[in-house]
Structure 1
Amino acid sequence: MSESTARHAFGASRFSSASRAEASSQATAGASSSLRLAVVGAGPAGLALALLAARYLPLAQISLFDARPLERDVSKDPRTLALSLGSIQLLQRLKVWPAAHAQPIREVHVSQAPPTLRSPWFGASGEPEVRISASEQGVDQLGAVLSYGQLVAPLQAAWQAAAALEPARLFTRFGQPVTGMKQDTAGEVEIDAGIVERFDLAIVAEGGVFAEQARKALSHDYRQNAWVGTVTLSPGTPAGVAYERFTRRGPLALLPLPDQDGRRRAALVWCQPQDEDEVASLSDAQRLMVIQHQLPDAVGPLLDISALKCFPLGLNAERTLVEGRCVRIGNAAQTLHPVAGQGLNLGLRDAFSLVEALRRQASVDAALRRVEFQRAPDRWATIVTTDALARSFVWRWPGLPAARGMGLAALQALPPVKRMLAQQMMFGRR
């Protein structure tokens, strides 16, 4: 890892083995002393936060709530997650990164489908494109792709093991949906999950998808559908390359997956305007043909496609992460368009920053003020950038494709700017 990358690593110096020795003494006098903490939602962000809190807030009592029964097998959930390098480093530090089930991303290839600018200056394809490789950034991988189940299962197993070692401090409340939550004037949060319990701080990590959410302070329906599934690639297709293709109808992405039975695969995210969406009426062969036509030649022939699922897309975000003694992280704080693939990564950075603030600040309120201040630049940069990209596909302004193509070409031609983009993609805005 290069010196520059090491400086940007996901808090490596702050949550290193050397710093653990000081955690207990700092916690005794700090915000985490005798803290009663509730984590609502045992998805990746909620489980990661609970594990971080269990490890680095040694005096805190932590209760983890989720509606699903503990015995339900989550390992088979096939939903695809794309994690940044910073997120991987955090999970490695927690000793829960399932490397055997993840496909490293070695290169990201972003391009624009015709009509667009074409020039021999853009390379062999003649199309504007940006290529970001792990090797040029001095890292082994830019990120990785794996299934939801393969990530949640080891996180949950680690939590259960920690709770078994400290049953008087770590409490598992699975199979108990939270039906009510309110704050009182004494600075406590009352949570009703069949029985009523009181906490000093509640973290909501239950997000869900846009179509099922109550509308938050900032909400916009993009009138787009995301069709998701998997495609089988030709054996000669380069491994570990993520493709993002800007088309007139919306972004089209292929995310590399681990090979299965000797077949090279990729997760598909295919966005379509709802008013013109005809994907449901197409056969598998027709879907493959349309997708193939929109992808760059570098992808190679697509051999097969799975059944696809459809999800409406929108922006749904809170103005702030903190409201009194309640904090929202991940999709509970902001549900984003998948064009940038940053939803879970934002949630993990939220979790990291919250635990770090609780560990170092003198009071809970001071810690929450610190989190709100610290997370705002990264959060709003991601929200604004993702929202602008998503909206740009429904704009029909003359010259917009040409302008987007010029932007891609400029990024490729300016290595320092491309490196800044790569650092943000891997570690967020710091």
Structure 2
Amino acid sequence: MRTIQSPDAASAVSADRLRLAVVGAGPAGLTLALLAAQLLPQAQITLFDARPLNRDVSADPRTLALALGSVQLLQRLQAWDASVAQPILTVSVSQAPPNLRHPLFGPAEEPAVSLSAQEQGVSALGAVISYGQLVAPLQARWLARAALEPGRLSSRFGTPVQGLKALGDGVEVDAGIAEQFDLAVVAEGGIFAEQARKAIQHDYQQNAWVGTLTLANESPLGAAYERFTRHGPVAVLPLAPKAGERRAALVWCVPQAEDDAAGLTDAQRLAVLQSLLPDSVGRLQAIGSLKCFALGLNAERSLVDGRIVRIGNAAQTLHPVAGQGLNLGLRDAYALVDALRAGGPIEAALRGVEWQRAPDRWAMIAATDFLARTFAWRWPGLPIARGLALAALQAATPLKKALARQMMFGRR
């Protein structure tokens, strides 16, 4: 193995003239690479990914929920295909029975927090899109940009990065040939079960069953639901209609010790889910094949380690109870490029990113971790307490508005 060293390696490099390595061509890595190409016109950017360029990513059906701020960022990058995305118009977070009768719960006696785009004065609270339909336009946009500036922007698809080595004045990226960069950003996440364990970790002993539902035509369009049940949360996220049918993505979380979903028929799964979800979801008509994923928290204490920065799932893998993992990663990407754009020493920019991202990042880690752990507790009255909290939040308009802003744009 031979080493290629940057000609500027021995000298201090300002943040706007750096050699940048981006490891991972998923949504977070591609977004960061495009942002850097746009906002750091002097930077040399190399994108690495183990996936071959000729592999078609557009058909990947995994579902992603994007906040409004994330959608706006992708629109600015001209990498958002609105025709295949389903806007989220309303969000309902509710507690499944049994519930305590309480005046706060209202006539329906079922506690819920309801958010709507109309109340917030926006066209949508966010959008739901498949992984492939998000990554394909991002990748096409990056390749088109790189073709216009081949001396500055380059891609290494089909080239797995085997190691990163921190140097005093940069990072050595080993991808068969070791090259020195001023800064490396790791955006390769993966799923919890396959990740190396980070500094902060917790196995929730829960499974998430993920798939697609077909809904009756009377089901409201653009409605997202989060249902807290005794065993765990169930999320139903609206998908763009297909062949005239209304569809939704399903995330069904259950304890591993009580997980009987694998042994159920489709009809039985539909019956169980129908009993768990609120009536406003409408009739569930069909369910697609489900995939099972183990759930856990796996997070770094810091985004920054010398000249190595981790974003998205590479920095924090969260429980899907709030659906904010990718949104955190995109906000990480924007904050990093924005700090580098300000110029000055790289170290100063990275310190600024760490401080800026900490409140948003740790608030989301703490909130999702707390909620996920509560589903393992069997305390008497816990569902009632959770229901009372939802009802109180629904009644507190300023707090509900703050929650909506947090969901759309993160903590600012």
2:292 corresponds to which of 300, 310, 321: 310
**TM value normalised by structure 2:** 0.96
| Counterpart-to-counterpart distance in 2, 1:269 and 1:352 | 28
2:69 corresponds to which of 70, 86, 109: 86
Q: Which residue of 2 aligns with 1:17?
A: none
Unmatched 5+ residue regions in structure 2? 1-11
Residue 154 (1) aligns with residue 137 (2)? yes
**TM value normalised by structure 1:** 0.92
1:128 corresponds to which of 102, 111, 134: 111
Query: Deviation digits for residues 119-145 of structure 1, max 9, x if unmatched?
Result: 465345320011000000010000000
Asked whether the 8 Å contact 2:49–2:160 carries over to 1, the reply is: yes
Q: Which residue of 1 aligns with 2:48?
A: 65
Residue 254 (1) aligns with residue 236 (2)? yes
Please state whether the residue corresponding to 1:95 is helix, strand or coil. coil
Q: Which amino acid aligns with 2:380?
A: P
| Counterpart-to-counterpart distance in 1, 2:255 and 2:198 | 23
2:171 corresponds to which of 184, 189, 192: 189
Q: CA deviation at 1:71?
A: 1.1
Please state whether the residue corresponding to 2:385 is helix, strand or coil. helix
| Counterpart-to-counterpart distance in 2, 1:30 and 1:244 | 47
Q: Which residue of 1 aligns with 2:404?
A: 422
| Counterpart-to-counterpart distance in 2, 1:323 and 1:181 | 11
1:209 corresponds to which of 191, 204, 211: 191
Query: Deviation digits for residues 302-335 of structure 1, max 9, x if unmatched?
Result: 0000010000000000000000000000000000
Identity of aligned residues (%): 71
Query: Deviation digits for residues 21-74 of structure 1, max 9, x if unmatched?
Result: xxxxxxxx9833430000000000000000000000000000000000011110
Q: Which residue of 2 aligns with 1:104?
A: 87
Q: Write the mapping of 1:3-152 to structure 2, written as runs, cut at 5 A.
A: 31-119=14-102, 121-152=104-135
Q: Which residue of 2 aligns with 1:372?
A: 354
Unmatched 5+ residue regions in structure 1? 1-28
| Counterpart-to-counterpart distance in 1, 2:358 and 2:102 | 40
Q: Which residue of 1 aligns with 2:305?
A: 323
Please state whether the residue corresponding to 1:110 is helix, strand or coil. strand
Query: Deviation digits for residues 336-379 of structure 1, max 9, x if unmatched?
Result: 00000000000000000000000004110010000000000000
Query: Deviation digits for residues 67-91 of structure 1, max 9, x if unmatched?
Result: 0001111000000000000000100
Asked whether the 8 Å contact 1:30–1:358 carries over to 2, the reply is: no
Q: Which residue of 1 aligns with 2:326?
A: 344
Asked whether the 8 Å contact 1:31–1:359 carries over to 2, the reply is: no
| Counterpart-to-counterpart distance in 1, 2:156 and 2:15 | 21
Asked whether the 8 Å contact 2:104–2:392 carries over to 1, the reply is: no
| RMSD (CA atoms) | 1.1
Q: Which residue of 1 aligns with 2:6?
A: none
| Count of residues in Structure 1 that have an aligned counterpart in Structure 2 | 401
| Counterpart-to-counterpart distance in 2, 1:389 and 1:361 | 40
Query: Deviation digits for residues 265-287 of structure 1, max 9, x if unmatched?
Result: 00000000000100000000000
Please state whether the residue corresponding to 1:304 is helix, strand or coil. strand
Please state whether the residue corresponding to 2:329 is helix, strand or coil. helix
| Counterpart-to-counterpart distance in 2, 1:231 and 1:344 | 22
Q: Write the mapping of 1:216-235 to structure 2, written as runs, cut at 5 A.
A: 216-235=198-217
| Counterpart-to-counterpart distance in 1, 2:14 and 2:82 | 34
Please state whether the residue corresponding to 1:376 is helix, strand or coil. helix
Q: CA deviation at 1:400?
A: 1.0
Asked whether the 8 Å contact 1:259–1:265 carries over to 2, the reply is: yes
| Counterpart-to-counterpart distance in 2, 1:370 and 1:121 | 43
Asked whether the 8 Å contact 1:117–1:128 carries over to 2, the reply is: no
Q: CA deviation at 1:195?
A: 1.3
Asked whether the 8 Å contact 1:84–1:144 carries over to 2, the reply is: yes
